Amino acid sequence: MGEINRRNFLTAAGAALSVSPGAGQPAAAPWHARIRRVGQVNMTERDPVELDVTAWADYWASLKADAVLVSVTGILAFYPSAVPFHRHGAFLNGRDFFGECCAAAKKRGIRVIARMSPDLQWEEALGPHPEWFQRDARGAFVPHGEDRRLYRTCMFSTYYTGHIAAIMREVNARYDIDGIFTNAWPPLGRFPECYCDVCRAQPPAGSPAYWDGFNERVLFLWRFFDGIAKEKRPDNLYFANLGGGIRATPNLKLLGEICEWFNCDNQGRGGEDAPIWGCAKQGRVCYAAMKGRTSTNVTAAWSTGQVRWRNVAKSPAEAEVWMDQTLASGMVPWYHFIGAQGGLGEDRRWHEPGRRYFNWIARNDRHLFNRRSIANLGIVMGQRTNLFYDPPGGGSVAQFMDGLYYALLEGRFLFDFVHEDDLGAENLKKYDALALPNIALLSDEQCRQLRAYAESGGSLLSTFETGLYTERNEPRPDFGLADVFGVHRASAVQGPNGNSFYAWIERQHEILAGFSDTCWLPGAEYRAPLKPVSSPVLTVVPPYPSYPPELSYLRRRTDEPAVVVLEQGRSRRIHFAGDVERSMWRSGHTDLSRLLQNAVRWILRDSSPVSIEGEGLIETFAWETEAGFALHALNYTNPNLHRGWLRRHYPIGPQKVRMTLPGGGKPARVELLKAGREVKFSIKGRIIEFTIPRIEDYEIAAISI
């Protein structure tokens, strides 16, 4: 970027700023590293006349909450703010509502985080401060979609460095707060599209070139706001609204280097066909960025989804399984509802599920402080691919990861996510194998790191267009990892013709275990054709019409490989020419799931720290903890696995566990924390075996050393 562009992005039209140092963890663990329960009533304009502050504080105390969020907010002031254009709520009437809530929480030993929203401002500020606001392509201010008295602010403007900073300092000066949190920034899932004077000078929103400056601005503001928080006390901190999974807008590797507290605004299922494991997947993203440092996830007790009722409670089973996934994946639950009218809300059905769940956590705190994951399989998450790549055939890039994820759950694999910018030898040495689910965008340096990993004995699996584009989304003439997998591009991507492609079985191999009485398998919907290789396992049968049935028959076979299997020393490598994981997700075909599972087992040499035998669809996490080890098993066996909400849990029967314990130490007991009982176990060398008799929604087998 040119200097004028960089200066515009960083200083946003000439604001004079002092930048705080990076917010790395101090030598001693900060206070927030020990929290295990966070609560929030997201306050509304009417709450100053509706909310019983004592009842509110007593409720969170009854949940043994370690911290609560209290609204400041930036859109409506919940205290008598003196900052110009910080509009007082219509029902505030001079009351210090924030101060009363803060004092009530502190009286009960609960930490207080001041919650702010910098994304919207009222129309009255348009004239005095037009520079604060986003503009559309015609130069008009951009109104909020629901209340058109509000307008969207620009994160590259002095609204953030001036106005929001003034509110932060005012709250710092007046109240005994422990931190500052901003909602709705950074933007979740998509980049802001703005045509103000500063933003017009930048590359197009949504381009890799734009992302460079966007990340600089995010990191700059994060440090700036954290510096303001630390003006209060050195152990205070700033953190922001994150989430968005792999499609998060900031570079999570860079943000993880300065972020002390990573909060995922992943409140519940969205979309018409969202699988239940969305929160666990978010937790894996969070662990890849934070390596176990303070991470929270918001669980909404209100009705998330395509059809919204923000003040009505969702089913207890749906909220409970979201908190289960939060805890299992290494995050801390943050329980959340909107408004407190009528005494903590007109709909009070959310109260007891939260109280019951948080008190159960409190009884088992000692097993919930994780040191590290013990998974030996890494799944590379490509932020750039998710942000900038357009897959052939259209649709969501997330389907590539979703398909592999589903297959990994069906195969009961332990795995971590690994950020594409974190492929150094030190981070990868813990993994026996890595999978790259169509990580289309890879830099030369990332390719070099993956090549070094394979040369050192690590195994790799890749699919479709992995490495066919640079990190700038520029096409390569051949795969960036062509030499690693022994593959070369033959032609442009090919798609279906009625039928999709088939994969003809040329010879037997371990990746074909379980397939009999067939000459072929479903291949993929799209493929990036490969040049022929010697002794292929599967070859491509080109597509042909599916209708009329008279014309739906095999025309010809080819020598074009559908998969390339390579073994060099300890390193095993597989490349699928097609989008097998996306095709599995879109079709649900069990052959494709089995093929992916077999391929993963082969590159792992069928080795895993944990094996669990039993019925049902489960997701598993295994952690080394302060007390020993903890195996978390989430039961997804439910008719509402893929759609709607869980109505209730469907228990599954005995699960036989065989776990290889890393390091030394002798197991003293195995406790099932949800069942509230101990189970018998056997130990031989470093291998411990026991049975979990029943899993309703979730079980934690805690192994004390």
What pLDDT score was predicted for residue 663?
81
679-704 residue pLDDT tens: 999 999 999 999 999 999 999 999 99
CATH number listed for the domain at residues 375-603: 3.40.50.880
The whole-model pTM stands at 0.94
- CATH code for the part of the protein at 610-704: 2.60.40.1180
CB 495 within 8 A of CB 393: yes
pLDDT value at 535 more than 50? yes
CATH number of 36-118+156-363: 3.20.20.80
Max CA-CA distance within the chain?
81
pLDDT tens digit string along 159-181? 999 999 999 999 999 999 999 99
Task: Answer for the pair 310, 304: CB distance below 8 angstroms, yes or no.
Answer: no
* Residue predicted with more confidence, 38 or 663: 38
What are the backbone angles phi and psi of residue 301, rounded to the nearest 5°? -80, -15
Domain ranges of the chain: 36-118+156-363, 375-603, 610-704
Q: How many CA atoms lie within 13 A of 53 on its CB side?
A: 17
C-alpha closest to that of 575 among 562, 559, 583, 564 = 564
Residue 664 vs residue 518, higher pLDDT: 518
pLDDT one-digit tens code per residue, 259-307? 999 999 998 987 777 899 999 999 999 999 999 999 999 988 878 877 8
Cα gap 380→450, rounded to integer Å: 11
- Residue 558 CA to residue 392 CA, distance in Å, equals 22
User: Among 579, 533, 539, which residue's Cα sits nearest to residue 440?
Assistant: 579
Q: What are phi and psi of 113, to 5 degrees?
A: -110, 125
How would you list the strands of the sheet with 538-541, edge to edge? Answer: 416-419, 377-381, 433-436, 459-463, 571-576, 561-568, 538-541, 502-505, 520-522
- What pairs with residue 337 in β-bridges? 41
Helix (H) or strand (E) holding 290: helix 278-290
> Per-residue pLDDT for 15 more than 90?
no
- Beta strands (DSSP E) in 351-472 are 370-373, 377-381, 416-419, 433-436, 459-463
What is the spatial distance between Cα 208 and Cα 213, in angstroms, rounded to a whole number?
A: 9
d(C-alpha 21, C-alpha 229), whole Å: 12
Tokens for 590? 């069990």
What are the tens digits of pLDDT across the range 372-430? 999 999 999 999 999 999 999 999 999 999 999 999 999 999 999 999 999 999 999 99
Indicate the residue type of 60.
W
Q: What is the C-alpha to C-alpha distance for residues 631 and 412, in angstroms, rounded to an integer? A: 13
pLDDT (0 to 100) of residue 341: 66
**Residue 27: pLDDT band with limits 50, 70, 90:** low
CA distance 305 to 271: 6
Please state, in angstroms and rounded to a whole number, the distance separating the CA atoms of residues 658 and 609: 8
Q: What share of the chain is helix, strand, coil (3-state, %, to 5)?
A: 30, 25, 45
Count of helix runs (H) and strand runs (E) in the chain: 20, 31
Q: Determine which helix (DSSP H) or strand (DSSP E) holds 453, and give its type and residue range.
A: helix 444-455
Nearest alpha carbon to residue 495 among 524, 455, 475, 466: 524
Q: Do 68 and 111 meet the contact criterion of CB atoms below 8 Å apart?
A: yes
**Residues contacting residue 679 through CB under 8 Å, at least 6 positions apart:** 670, 671, 672, 690, 691, 692, 693, 701
Contact 240/222 with Cβ under 8 angstroms? yes
